[in-house]
Structure 1
Amino acid sequence: MDFRYPIGKFAHNGDITADQRQAWIQDLEELPGLLRQAVDGLTEEQLAAPYRDGGWTIRQVVHHVADSHMHSYIRFKLALTEENPTIKPYEEGLWAELSDTDEEPVETSLQLLDALHRRWVTLLRSMTEEQFSRTFYHPGSQTSIRLDRNIGLYSWHGKHHLAHITGLKSRMNWT
């Protein structure tokens, strides 16, 4: 198994249906609780364990999910209020090395994700068909990304990092 991609890479072919969007939105709604369950009861030593050789620690993964999902939420709001705005990429690997990632308890990011996902899901559930087709421009990939596809990407992103944590727990028999 490739521990970098325990659920595979994100892929979706064809049109995105309303049912598919709703399933992805449901995933986003459930993610904060699932992450909280995944780290519940872990010791400081376990939170400091990398999910794979050369990978981030569980603590870094939880803080990264909060950082990444904050960026995505803001990108949605930009795309809903501007015409194909150019978003600002960030150096996620360097962010994972900053002191707030190392020193702050995972609970801080879990609380942040609770509130962020409530706001994000409220926004997503209020969007129209036309709004789901709006885009933002990502200079890193040099493509415009539709909001409906981005919902799928972040549904996958949450599951991807959740699997990093649950996979390590399973391999280490941390139940």
Structure 2
Amino acid sequence: MICTKITHKITASTRRLIYGYNSRVLHDKALYRSSTEPIIFTRHFCHSMTTLTDTVRYPIGPWVDKGTYSADLVQRLVERISILPEEYQTVADRCSDEDLRRQYRAGSWTVQQLFHHVADTHLMHFMRLKNALSTPEPTIGVIADVNAWAALDEAQTAPIQSSVTMLRGTHQRIAYLAGHLTPDQLDITYFHPPRQRNLSLAQALDIIVWHAEHHLGHIRLAMSL
């Protein structure tokens, strides 16, 4: 384990990123002047593998399997699935043409590409759920090269509102489907190609929520929200 003293001059827009640093905090000092002015921020961290770069790559942290998915947890996941498109809409309403070209880190997808990626992949999530429910012993999910998709001119130029509308409809369908699944159906598994593992439908719902929040975090970082 490495202990490090880190001093930052950060703005309000990046403050959330620093506080979200995944480490054990031993000491914390900050000089606050206002909610918008920069802060001189000093922390002593004891950390192992996590870095500030990791917190940009994973603004809400990597997905963590909850192990047991109770009925209450599944219900909360369904509620988040229903609400998340409106959070995307709120951010989309604030996007300028300049914002659409912003990146959350060097070499990353742009805000515009992120909106389209989430809409595209969540449609695939929905298809995987339906395939798992309708196909005996499903062995493979829907496969796509998301980087190649993001490189298409369509993904770099199409209006983001089309993807927000698409995401809203997809999430409505997912939430309706998930809200009517039995406990046995939630335990049905299928092979998830990107993660190279079997997932239960309950785990898949969890990943849908995580993935939407994960990329919404990227968009907010890029736009300094």
Match of 2:129 in 1: 76
Q: Which has the larger radius of gyration?
A: 2
Relative contact order (C-alpha < 8 Å, sep 6+): which is higher? 1
More moved, 134-143 vs 60-69: 134-143
Task: For 2:59 and 2:90, locate their aligned partners in 1 and report how far apart those are by CA, in whole Å.
Answer: 19
Corresponding position: 1:102 with 2:181: no
Higher helix share: 1
More moved, 116-125 vs 139-148: 139-148
Deviation at 1:139, TM superposition (A): 4.4
Percent identity (aligned) = 32
Letter in 1 for 2:171: H
Q: In angstroms, what is the RMSD of aligned CA positions? A: 1.4
Deviation at 1:141, TM superposition (A): 4.3
Change in 2 beyond 3 A, CA 1:139/1:55: closer
Higher strand share: 2
Task: For 1:36 and 1:133, locate their aligned partners in 2 and report how far apart those are by CA, in whole Å.
Answer: 32
Corresponding position: 1:114 with 2:168: yes
Deviation at 1:113, TM superposition (A): 0.8
Match of 2:96 in 1: 43
Letter in 1 for 2:59: P
Match of 2:65 in 1: 12
Q: How many residues align?
A: 171
- The correspondence for 1:125, drawn from 169, 175, 179, is 179
Corresponding position: 1:89 with 2:104: no
Task: Report if the CA contact (8 A) 1:84-1:144 is conserved.
Answer: no
Letter in 2 for 1:55: S
More moved, 53-62 vs 5-14: 5-14
Task: Report if the CA contact (8 A) 1:84-1:137 is conserved.
Answer: no
Task: Report if the CA contact (8 A) 2:112-2:157 is conserved.
Answer: no
* TM-score, length of structure 1 as denominator length: 0.92
* TM-score, length of structure 2 as denominator length: 0.72
Deviation at 1:140, TM superposition (A): 5.0
Change in 2 beyond 3 A, CA 1:47/1:140: closer
